[in-house]
Amino acid sequence: MADKKITALTDLGSGNIASADLLHVIDDPAGTPINKKISIASAFANIPTAVTINPGASSNVTINSDATDSDFVVSNDDEEAFRVDGANREVVINEASGQTDFRAETNSYSTAFLVDASADNVQINATPVFGLTQALSGAGAVDVVSAITEVTSTGASQALTLADGVEGQIKIISMKTDGGSGIVTPANFINGTRITFDDVEDTVTLLYQSTGWVALARQNATFS
């Protein structure tokens, strides 16, 4: 082929590029420049610099426009942290990823919105979001990451604990299965020292303030 200026070559056209197509590269331009080639696939497989997308004030950055089978994936090492699934029309966070969190920050909160993968909970301003339920069987700790704890007692006078929460947090504890009484002892309880659940549907709703848990509502559970 006769020598041509790059500007004189045929324009490939938008959407016609293939992974095996080649680009011209000048290797080591500041030292000993050598003409080399690189495929499109190799060039985009490892971009050795930060990438900035700046389409201008009146333009958009578009991912998967009309590409129903294409995904946009962000991974942490070998874990999929965030995916826009074109085929299923969904956005997925932390699919099959038990250690990767999704966090949004503001000026006042380092975790204004948090999907905590390992704890299986969602938080807003460090407070667990209402709706998550802990199933607690036998003695043990009533957690402070679930909004609701359903207690299944398996013996008499079973000891349950409740640690301090975060200010503004609401916690509901209810007996689901009565195999004997369950006695919850909060670390700090404004209405007493402990809460006793004797029967199915004994329930208490608590609010955590700066000095401890405060009872908002009580259904047959007793305080002492």
Of all residues in the chain, the percent with pLDDT exceeding 90 is 42
Phi, psi of 6 (to 5 degrees): -60, -40
pLDDT at 129 over 70: no
C-alpha–C-alpha distance, residues 182 and 175, integer Å:
8
CATH number of 131-223: 2.60.120.640
Q: Which helix (H) or strand (E) holds 42?
A: helix 40-45
C-alpha–C-alpha distance, residues 105 and 194, integer Å:
37
Residue spans per domain, the chain: 66-97, 101-130, 131-223
pTM score of the predicted model: 0.54
Three-state DSSP at 41 gives helix
According to the model, what pLDDT value does residue 130 have? 59
- pLDDT band at residue 91, thresholds of 50, 70 and 90? confident
Which tens digit of pLDDT belongs to each residue from 131-164? 578 999 999 999 988 889 999 999 999 999 999 9
Largest CA distance in the chain: 96
